[in-house]
Structure 1
Amino acid sequence: MVVATLSEVKALLGEPRFNWSDSTPWVEMERELGIEFPADFREIVNAYGSIQINGQLYLEHPAGHLLHSLGETIRGNLEMWREEDMAEFLPSPAGANPGELMPVASATTGEWVFLRVPDGPSSPWRVLVQELDSPAWTLHEMTFSEWLLAYLRGEDVTVCSRNFAPDRPFYEPLS
């Protein structure tokens, strides 16, 4: 499977307006969490910043303000997903260790998007989507960029955009 590129995402979503280049917020957040996020995830988030895609999917940047800061959101979500009554909805624990799930995005339609931490350095990152209105979850054997590209194309990757963007994908900065 070929890794999707930022240019493919731009072709569907439109030109990014954020274009962040300072790695300091990522380095600080990754040091605190004990994880290094995959390059494709960082590249997309650095290009677009904290946005809502198709009025449905939320992506946040670590340099965002308190309401839309990836680091703040992840800390709160890790706490929530580690609670006993929430942990049972996931196939493995929320966290930064190999095989664990790092919550990185959510949708207005009740889905949570996780990056599955690889089991080893040569293993790929994968995307897991949990549907909060049911105990169901789906592991997508694709990178974040591949998953996002499929979402933007209107493919059913657990979070489905067809009803939210019938003409073409769009995004709005989170303020």
Structure 2
Amino acid sequence: MSLERLKTILPVPEKIYGSGDISQWKEAEKELGSKFPADYKEFISTYGTGGVCGFLWIYSPFSDNENLNFFIRSKEENDAYIISKQKFPDDFPHSLFPVEGGLLPWGVTDNGDVLNWITSNNPEEWSVLVYDGGTGESYEY
């Protein structure tokens, strides 16, 4: 779905927080060690930090809220994944970013679903893997 189409469904807020400017995006990508997907950057630049309908929460590298900060939350999600993988390796088969094909968390739902990118050398080709917080199953998009 294009951002223009999304705007017809999800209006842009009047006040936008934590959207980042060009220099902030460069710093965030330097810290990450990779570029972010362009559609993610466009979404954060347009909508800023926050949630969608109080259910879907997309992490932003520019959020002052530690519960929504990309770098804080992705580290916490990765730490939890590592523990789960040690206990249940068959249920958690992926590696973590920066390994090729590794997971990189970018959001969460109120149901506890974790939204991850499956990374590659080209961020424009990253797919999405959702770990269902209720069942432990995963779904790739």
Is the pair's TM-score, using the shorter chain for normalization, greater than 0.5?
Answer: yes
Higher relative contact order, structure no. (Cα contacts within 8 Å, ≥ 6 residues apart): 1
Amino acid corresponding to residue 49 of structure 2 in structure 1 = S
Q: Secondary structure at the match of 1:128?
A: strand
State the Cα RMSD in Å: 2.3
The TM-score, its normalising length taken from structure 2, stands at 0.82
Question: Which residue matches 2:114?
Answer: 112
Q: 1:75 to 1:86 in 2, by over 3 A?
A: farther
Q: Say yes or no: does 1:15 pair with 2:12.
A: yes
CA distance in 2, matches of 1:15, 1:122: 25
Question: Which residue matches 2:133?
Answer: 132
Amino acid corresponding to residue 131 of structure 1 in structure 2 = D
Number of equivalences: 136
Q: Which runs of 4+ in 1 moved over 6 A?
A: none
Matches within 5 A, 1:67-82: 67=66, 68-82=68-82
Give the unaligned 5+ runs of structure 2: none
Q: Secondary structure at the match of 2:125?
A: coil
Give the unaligned 5+ runs of structure 1: 141-175
Q: 1:94 to 1:12 in 2, by over 3 A?
A: same
The CA deviation string for residues 146-175 of structure 1, in whole angstroms up to 9 with x for no partner, is xxxxxxxxxxxxxxxxxxxxxxxxxxxxxx
CA distance in 2, matches of 1:95, 1:63: 20
Q: Secondary structure at the match of 2:136?
A: coil
CA distance in 2, matches of 1:85, 1:54: 34
Tell me if structure 2 keeps the 8 A contact 1:51–1:59: yes
CA distance in 2, matches of 1:123, 1:52: 23
Offset at 1:122? 8.8
Amino acid corresponding to residue 46 of structure 1 in structure 2 = S
Q: 1:110 to 1:18 in 2, by over 3 A?
A: same
Q: Secondary structure at the match of 2:21?
A: coil
The CA deviation string for residues 107-144 of structure 1, in whole angstroms up to 9 with x for no partner, is 011211001112x449711111001222310111xxxx
